[in-house]
């Protein structure tokens, strides 16, 4: 006789959790998510003169050491905001016809701190490539010297001033609140990519060697049509000139110019 097959045992069906229990679990998860600690952003520290001397001016168009400027910490209070640690940089009253002027209020003598410089309470009328800054904007050299448009390089002058005209008003405003660097014949900001370039300091042989395996070629590329001295002459024992280096804020192109007494 054939053996009877025993019926397979039915597995007990899993009970679905009640809807109320599911809702409670979801609420518990949400509460846990809310309780997770939120990372707070560190409070911004106010920049002091001492910090800035080590880290630079922290301005878009000035990436060199503060020692490249004429700014000096004299420990006095700022004439504009009263903060301690002002910089003895100039007499605004004496230099109102020069590079510095007061953006708001009447010209006056006094000290200025870095925060007030960054806030634009004191502004500077720099020379720039193909022109100069004014109290209202920027203008080409031909405005003051119209005869240059009739000279042998009139086409280059006209082309340069067209480039200058493309620079936005916001960039002009930013450069006006940037202190000048020390230069023999006064600071001049170069331009590239429709903007002013960032001053990165005075360069010597060490800087060229750091940035290129062929320092002489880099020197020639940086100077371009301003190449008045050969590389060896610039750093010769009897050289009395200085090279001021700039970097483009948009494409990192390096440029520079030389100046002497």
What distance in Å separates the CA atoms of residue 234 and residue 257, rounded to the nearest whole number? 11
pLDDT for the residue 83: 84
pLDDT for the residue 260:
82
Q: What is the predicted pLDDT for the residue at 43?
A: 39
Question: What is the predicted pLDDT for the residue at 162?
Answer: 95
Cα 145 to Cα 159: distance, rounded to the nearest angstrom: 16
Cα distances (angstroms) measured from residue 26 to each of 14, 15, 16, 32, 36 = 21, 19, 16, 10, 16
**In Å, how far are 5, 95, 244 from 238, measured between CA atoms?**
113, 33, 18
Cα–Cα distance, 74 to 77 (Å, whole number): 9
CA dist list (Å): 168 to 59, 164, 196: 17, 9, 10
| Other beta carbons within 10 Å of 202 | 17
DSSP 8-state code for residue 95: T
Of 83, 77, 78, which is closest to residue 112 (Cα–Cα)?
Answer: 78
Quote the CA–CA distance of 177 and 257 in Å, as a whole number. 22
Cβ-based neighbours of 226, under 8 Å, separated by 6 or more: 257, 258
Task: Report the chain (261 residues): mean pLDDT per 10 consecutive residues.
Answer: 50 53 57 50 36 61 89 80 74 50 64 81 88 89 92 91 94 91 91 97 94 95 89 81 95 94 62
Give the model's pLDDT for residue 207.
95
pTM: 0.73
- Give the Cα separation of 198 and 186 in Å (integer): 16
């Amino acid at each position: 006789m054939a053996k009877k097959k025993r019926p397979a045992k039915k597995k007990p069906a899993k009970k679905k959790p009640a809807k109320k229990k599911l809702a409670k679990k979801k609420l518990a998860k949400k509460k846990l998510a809310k309780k997770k600690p939120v990372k707070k952003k560190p409070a911004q520290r106010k920049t002091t003169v001492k910090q800035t001397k080590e880290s630079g001016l922290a301005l878009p168009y000035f990436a060199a050491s503060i020692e490249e400027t004429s700014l000096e910490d004299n420990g006095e209070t700022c004439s504009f905001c009263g903060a301690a640690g002002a910089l003895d940089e100039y007499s605004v009253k004496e230099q109102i016809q020069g590079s510095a002027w007061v953006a708001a209020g009447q010209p006056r003598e006094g000290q200025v701190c870095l925060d007030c410089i960054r806030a634009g309470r004191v502004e500077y009328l720099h020379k720039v490539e193909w022109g100069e800054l004014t109290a209202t904007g920027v203008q080409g050299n031909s405005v003051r010297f119209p005869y240059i448009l009739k000279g042998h390089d009139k086409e280059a002058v006209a082309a340069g001033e067209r480039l200058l005209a493309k620079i936005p008003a916001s960039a002009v405003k930013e450069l006006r609140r940037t202190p000048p660097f020390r230069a023999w014949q006064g600071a001049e900001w170069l331009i590239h990519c429709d903007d002013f370039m960032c001053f990165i300091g005075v360069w010597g042989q060490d800087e060229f060697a750091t940035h290129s395996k062929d320092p002489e070629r880099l020197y020639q590329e940086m100077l371009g049509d301003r190449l008045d001295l050969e590389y060896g002459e610039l750093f010769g024992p009897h050289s009395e000139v200085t090279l001021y280096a700039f970097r483009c804020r948009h494409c990192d192109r390096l440029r520079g110019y030389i100046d002497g007494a």
